[in-house]
Amino acid sequence: MDPITLAVVRGALEQIADEMDLHLIRAAISPIISETNDCAHGIYRADTGETIAQGRFGLPVFLANMQFTVQNLIEHVRGSGGFRPGDVWILNDPYLSGTHLQDVVLVAPHFVDGELFALLASTGHWMDIGGAVPGGWAPSAQEIHTEGIIIPPVKLYDEGKLNTGLVSMFTRNVRLPTQIEGDLFAMANVFSVGRRGLDSLIARHGRDTLSACISEMIERSEKQMRSYIAEIPDGVYHCEDFLDNDGIDDKPIRIALSLTVEGSSMHFDFSGSDPAACGPVNLARTTTQSTCFIALKHIFADVPVNGGAFRPTQFTIPEGCVVSAAYPSPVSGYLEPIGRVFDVVFGALAQAIPQRTPAPAFGTVGVVTVGGRQPDTGSYFVAVFPYPGGYGAHARGDGLVNGTPPVSMANFMSIEMSEHRYPLQFVEYALREDSGGAGRYRGGCGTQYRFMTRSECVVSALGDRVDHVPFGIAGGKEAAPSVVQFGIGGREMTPPMRSKVEKQRMHAGDWLAAASPGGGGFGDPLERDLEGVERDLNLGYISRRTAEEVYGVVVSEQRRKSGALRYSVDSGASARKRARMRGDQGKTAATG
Amino acid sequence: MALVGIDVGGTFTDLYYSRDGASADRICKVPSTPQDPSSGLLDSLITAEIPLDDLDLILHGTTIATNALIERQGARCALVTTKGFRDILELGRRDRPSFYGLTGLQDPLVPRDRRYEVDERVNHKGEVLVALDEDEVRLLGEALKEDDVESVVVSLLHSYVNPAHEERIAAILRDMEPNWAIVTSASVIREYYEFERTSTAVVQAYLQPLMTRYADNLLSRLGDWGFSRQTLIMQSNGGLVPVPQLPEKAAHVVRSGPAAGVTAAARIAAEAGFSRAITGDMGGTSFDVAVVIDGEPEITPATNLDFRIPLKQSMINVHTIGAGGGSIAWIDRGGILQVGPRSAKARPGPVCFGHGGTEPTVTDANVVLSRINADDPIGLTNLTRLDVEGAREAMKRLGAQIGLGVEETAEAILAVVNQNMAGRTRLLSIERGYDPRDFALVIFGGAGPLHGAAIIREVGIRTMLVPPSPGVLCAMGCVVADLRHDLSRTVARRTESFTADEVDAILAKQAGEGSDKLREESISIRDIGVRHFAEMAYVGQIHTLRVPIERGWDAARLSRAFEETYRNEYGNTLGEIASTVVSFRTVVEGLREHKKRDMPAPERRPLVEPDIVRPVYFGGWRNSPIFRRFRLEPGMVIEGPAIVEQADTTTVIEPGMTGRIDAYGNILVEIA
């Protein structure tokens, strides 16, 4: 293979996928696509469904999910006559296409000289998909039908002819028909961008060269991925973690991973995970697989996103468990189990390659939704505030603060903007002191915020990580648990399911306070450098008590004219205290 | 009226001197002096022997603000916020530094122990919910004294509607310590989004003491040299301000240099008859691209200076990728050739510089292929000859890993870096819904004209324009720019709630403020240009569209203008959904006297003989004519392959392309 052509063709294919992303981001009507990039595009091999290229502007959550969706569709289409020129298939069935019902996938074949050459796919988040709750997030759902309409794999265009009946089915069953129709056709139009790009590449290099380049590219990516895996010591690494509850039954839900690394291959085995949950915290199999890749990609950011990178991995996921949702398990709260799958992958890899693996992040999306009527106009509003939280510490430094979930890139709304839009008044938006896991490197602090309602409304929350907190690695400590509290009629109240509550009624002057976990710590806190502890104290990232009891330092304080306290750490006394604490730990370990 | 434009960059200080304000009489490049940038500036004036007697104006672009931020060399600064919100500056709005990877560094310009809160609260309508506790403010002043700060930012919630509390706090603190530079957020931008406004005010306060010292220093040095007339500074929005205003405009000059380059490129493209242009500036480490429509560089309302340091100021929208002459070529784990974003920088630099670099760079590839003349390197005062053999050795080592010979490896490096730049250029136009083929590419910077031909070939652009002095274009941009003030004010209300009178009153006030500022500056201007815009969105949308509006318009006319703009941008409208006006903006420009040139297309004239013919590699060694730029005159046409050399750059005309010299001395390279 001519290395220049290979490098150029790879760049050109990635460019086509990027252009498909940008085309939809520009043309979509829903802000969720145009403003938070909740979409993804790719080019896939017609025979194996492997990814040839995926756009760089779509959300991480769709990283590998698209390939598995295309592969499931190929299987389905094989049994119903195969792809024909001009066909466009559509589906949102989470048991085939992952994530949740709002993510609708379109797939179109691309033919060259009458022969099937590649498949193009477009995923976009629809703002409504029918179902019990506007927007599709249904915290009390106990089956998928509550969450919206299911679109099985079906042809939107049959050899170029639009199935208008299908379009009316959609528009009659969703709450925002004009918007959804606009997004549907914007997605279908993206395929012309992909086809034009592929045709011009074929005109330039010839079909055979292009096919040869694609095969070679995928093999090279596999080689690249294998070279990373080969650096991970062989072994079997176990990690399990729990969801607090599913919002219906108050009992923890286990997610267990046994990760085997052998040479340049990896095997993810989720046997031992709990059966599907009653509530909407189940994860479709394809999304579980995809989440494992997202975790790897966050550690090895250079890994190319094509099918070759997925080849050295194998999965065992028992049927019907919480991470292989089957009909009719509800999935609309899927972002919570994603967080836990993500963290067990990190937890397992941390045992193998602690130098490269950060401790888990805050691990809960904790969406708080406020709904009601505007006091002045009477019009309906829905405000959504997802948790920000701390990122985990790592071998080279402390964790970041106020991060967005690893599978997302969405932001927190501006306080001033929120107060313009909704009858809410924020009282606080602050770093949460003492919430990051202690360690040689400290986890990033979580975030705490509090708002007061200015008129009657209902508030729902879907969070987690109250009973089971983000853990530390390599001897690092765990982060603080998440907290959701209400002040209703002057009384403080914690919801029975802690961070999960549906439609809590609130009146003017009532408040909600949320505090998210920080990230886990890395390494023994007794090894944190003393300047770091002193700085954290003076910046208020940690309390004096934590400094003394967890970091083992001796602190003196000095009150300044303004009343503020300044701390200094006594290095000699601290070293002696730390030696004593290490000794005690050793004894405890010996007797325990 | 003679003018001097001077661009102080990180490595070089460039000078452009024009007696008539239209064509170059002298250009020069001297090394920058980062310790005291005004010293390098003086060096350039002395080296170029600029006559003082008829010099009217010095126009100046600078990277001093950018460097101070990157190196965290700004003022020791404190922040005062509404109770409950001192962490806004550090928290931002929930994000991370990159798509993939969960680690990174954050270094807030004001650390948490210098961020203070006061008990007060104003709501979004400007009503006071909690009165300001002035005793608490005085106590706070004592703490700030203990902190030994140079500047103080006061940023309170909703101060853009009602700045009274911010102003009162500033007054109390000013009384307590007159030496503090005190910046209130509403005085910097009158817009909502507390994090972005606070960050912008902090950038201002962080830079203000430094810029005050710089302005004093510069004026006194120029005075010693004998110059006492006006000196203007280029702002990030492409407009100029007088040096005495530099301290209060500190946050406005962060992208001074790139803005000057785009401004010059836009002017040159318009003069040469191209209404749409993409400007490309390729230097040692990066490739900066911007879009120009109808002679106007595209403006962005905000940018990120670093992780979680947004700056909300109107500025020319310049996109950067890590592709430059110093970009390093490497083989990835899959065995595929990659170029950049890592750069050899100035030290050790490319292998051919002979300063100890061992990894092959883009410049080395150009040297190996003989596109760059190894015997006459540009911009390097201390080198007489480039180390071709060293560069070839480095190519050989890299090529061996992927089975390519020396020249093939060099050509592969160019193919990859050109594709990276072409890809970004395409995306830039596609993101905005334009067809890249409708644009001309104005290429400049020391390395740009070596690569422009390949970029237009890849993107499908018809014409590449190489201006007469591509290596000092930023200095020239200062000379051709106008004075400019951007004013904005958040209103955040439904469009239907505005009457024509209210809109007129807001716009008239902004226009008045801007014009007053221009008059205070007492720079000679030909005319004042005023343009009005409304930032509008459909109710519920986060991103706004900038809609050109006029005084006298009522709600219905505003709505219609919004829908037209929306349709142009997105191809459709959202029907009956109501719109909101987020803010009103006014741009006031002091248009300087510019000598306008309108020259007819030149008659074709015979090409001069080449200075030399040397083999240059284009898929094989081909004898190629080499021309020195100053010998080329309007009307001449060069057939590629050919190389044009000049003191500040080298232009490659590929086989199958022609280069035509237009009336203004630009080279227009087209695919034959």
Cα of B608 to nearest chain A Cα, Å: 37
**Which of B88, B103, B161, B581 to mutate to probe the A interface, most A CBs <10 Å?**
B103
Give the contacts of A591 (CB within 8 A, at least 6 positions apart): none
Dihedral of alpha carbons A332, A335, A337, A338, sign: positive
Q: How far is CA B344 from its chain centroid?
A: 23
Distances from the Cα of A201 to the Cα of A2, A204, B176, B299, B337, angstroms: 16, 5, 69, 34, 20
Dist CA B62 CA B41 (whole Å): 10
Dist CA B195 CA B531 (whole Å): 28
Distances from the Cα of B557 to the Cα of A315, B245, B517, B537, B646, angstroms: 60, 37, 30, 15, 54
* Chain B residues within an 8 Å CB radius of A414: 93, 192-196
* Confidence (pLDDT) at A592: 45
Distances from the Cα of B405 to the Cα of B73, B374, B396, B620, B621, angstroms: 47, 20, 7, 12, 14
Considering all CA atoms of chain A, what is the largest pairwise distance in Å, rounded to the nearest integer? 83
**Bridge partners for A90 per DSSP:** A106, A154
Contact B426 A563 (CB under 8 A): no
C-alpha triplet A582, A587, A588: angle, nearest 5°: 95
Prediction ipTM score? 0.92
* Confidence (pLDDT) at B32: 84
Mean pLDDT on B329-356? 88
Number of Cβ within a 10 Å radius of residue A584? 10
Cα of B334 to nearest chain A Cα, Å: 4
Winning range, highest mean pLDDT, from A145-154, B536-545, B578-587: A145-154
The answer to whether B431 faces chain A, any CB pair under 8 Å, is: yes
Three-state DSSP class for residue B130: strand
Determine the residue of chain A that is closest to B544 in CA distance: A35
**Which of B145, B336, B434 to mutate to probe the A interface, most A CBs <10 Å?**
B336
C-alpha closest to that of B468 among B275, B289, B288, B662: B662
* Confidence (pLDDT) at B431: 67
* Chain A residues within an 8 Å CB radius of B334: 220-221, 223-224, 304
* Chain A residues within an 8 Å CB radius of B572: 29, 182
The answer to whether B542 faces chain A, any CB pair under 8 Å, is: yes
Tokens 């990859």 -> residue: B416
Dist CA B425 CA B455 (whole Å): 8
DSSP A164: H
Sort residue B59 into left (φ over 0), alpha (ψ -120 to 50) or beta: beta
How many CB contacts within 8 angstroms connect chain A with chain B? 206
Dist CA B6 CA B28 (whole Å): 9
Q: Is the pLDDT of residue B198 over 70?
A: yes
Q: Is the pLDDT of residue B379 over 60?
A: no
State residue A462 phi and psi, 5-degree precision.
-135, 95
Q: What is the dihedral of CA A268, A273, A276, A279, to 10 degrees?
A: -110
Asked if B296 and B333 touch (Cβ cutoff 8 Å), the reply is: no
Tokens 């020239």 -> residue: B476
Q: Is the pLDDT of residue B571 over 70?
A: no
Which residue type, as a one-letter code, is found at position A28? A
Contact A228 B333 (CB under 8 A): yes
Dist CA A412 CA A429 (whole Å): 11
Residue range(s) occupied by CATH 3.40.50 in chain B: 71-211
pLDDT tens-digit map of B380-407: 556 678 999 999 999 999 999 999 999 9
Positions in chain A short of pLDDT 70? 31, 35, 135, 588-592
Contact B572 A182 (CB under 8 A): yes
* Chain B residues within an 8 Å CB radius of A411: 93-95
* Confidence (pLDDT) at B378: 64
C-alpha closest to that of A542 among A431, A391, A388: A431
* Confidence (pLDDT) at B541: 66
Of B102, B124, B403, the CB nearest to A416: B124
* Chain A residues within an 8 Å CB radius of B410: none
Contact B427 A22 (CB under 8 A): yes
Of B100, B160, B430, the CB nearest to A298: B100
Mean pLDDT of chain B: 91
C-alpha closest to that of A49 among A89, A1, A93: A89
The answer to whether B337 faces chain A, any CB pair under 8 Å, is: yes
Of B99, B195, B574, the CB nearest to A409: B99
Tokens 């089957």 -> residue: A326
| CATH number for the domain running over B71-211 | 3.40.50
Cα of A587 to nearest chain B Cα, Å: 36
* Confidence (pLDDT) at B433: 67
Asked if B387 and B351 touch (Cβ cutoff 8 Å), the reply is: yes
Mean pLDDT on B611-619? 95
pLDDT tens-digit map of B16-31: 999 887 788 898 888 8
pLDDT-above-70 percentage for chain B = 97
pLDDT tens-digit map of B498-525: 999 999 999 999 999 999 988 887 777 8
Three-state DSSP class for residue B57: strand
Contact B575 A361 (CB under 8 A): no
The answer to whether A220 faces chain B, any CB pair under 8 Å, is: yes
* Chain B residues within an 8 Å CB radius of A428: 84-85
Determine the residue of chain A that is closest to B105 in CA distance: A400
Question: Which secondary-structure segment (H or E) carries A448?
Answer: strand A447-453
- This model's pTM is above 0.95: no
The pair of structure tokens assigned to A140 is 């009390």
Dist CA B253 CA B239 (whole Å): 10
**Which of B102, B307, B332 to mutate to probe the A interface, most A CBs <10 Å?**
B102
Of 3.30.420.40, 3.90.1300.10, 3.40.30.10, 3.30.390.50, the CATH number of B2-68+213-321 is 3.30.420.40
Residue range(s) occupied by CATH 3.30.1490 in chain B: 483-591
* Confidence (pLDDT) at B382: 61
* Confidence (pLDDT) at A97: 95
Mean pLDDT on B548-564? 95
* Confidence (pLDDT) at B438: 82
Dist CA B65 CA B63 (whole Å): 6
Higher model confidence: residue B441 or residue A501? B441
Cα of A484 to nearest chain B Cα, Å: 18
Write b or e for each residue in A140-177: b if 16 or more Cβ atoms lie within 10 A of its Cβ, otherwise e: bbbebebbbbbbebebbbeeeeeeeebbeebeeebebe
The answer to whether A493 faces chain B, any CB pair under 8 Å, is: no
Contact A416 B543 (CB under 8 A): no
Asked if B140 and B114 touch (Cβ cutoff 8 Å), the reply is: no
**Bridge partners for B338 per DSSP:** B330
Asked if B599 and B605 touch (Cβ cutoff 8 Å), the reply is: no
Q: How far is CA B112 from its chain centroid?
A: 31
- DSSP H helices, B403-471, are 406-431, 448-459
The answer to whether B106 faces chain A, any CB pair under 8 Å, is: yes
Residue range(s) occupied by CATH 3.30.420.40 in chain B: 2-68+213-321
C-alpha closest to that of A316 among A277, A284, A283, A285: A285
Task: Residue window 501-540, chain A: list those with CB within 8 Å of chain B.
Answer: 538-540
pLDDT tens-digit map of A261-305: 999 999 999 999 999 999 999 999 999 999 999 999 999 988 888
Task: Residue window 562-621, chain B: list those with CB within 8 Å of chain A.
Answer: 570-572, 574-575
Determine the residue of chain B that is closest to A30 in CA distance: B541
**Is beta strand B151-155 parallel, antiparallel or unpaired with respect to B181-184?**
parallel
* Confidence (pLDDT) at A217: 92
Q: Is the pLDDT of residue B97 over 80?
A: yes
Helices (H) and strands (E) in chain A, counts: 14, 22
- DSSP H helices, A206-266, are 207-230
Helices (H) and strands (E) in chain B, counts: 15, 35
Contact A391 B142 (CB under 8 A): no
Contact B95 A428 (CB under 8 A): no
Report the top-level CATH class of B483-591.
alpha beta
Contact A392 B411 (CB under 8 A): no
Contact A540 B98 (CB under 8 A): no
Higher model confidence: residue B11 or residue A591? B11
Contact B100 A419 (CB under 8 A): no
Task: Residue window 58-87, chain B: list those with CB within 8 Å of chain A.
Answer: 84-87
Dist CA B318 CA B341 (whole Å): 18
* Chain B residues within an 8 Å CB radius of A302: 332-333
Dist CA A462 CA A246 (whole Å): 9
DSSP string, A535-589: HHHHHTSS-HHHHHHTS--EEEEEE-TTS-EEEEEEHHHHHHHHHHHHHHHHHHH
Distances from the Cα of B635 to the Cα of B384, B555, B570, B632, B665, angstroms: 34, 54, 42, 9, 9
End-to-end CA distance of chain B: 41
Task: Residue window 430-459, chain A: list those with CB within 8 Å of chain B.
Answer: 430-431, 447, 450
Cα of A161 to nearest chain B Cα, Å: 23
C-alpha triplet B489, B490, B496: angle, nearest 5°: 115
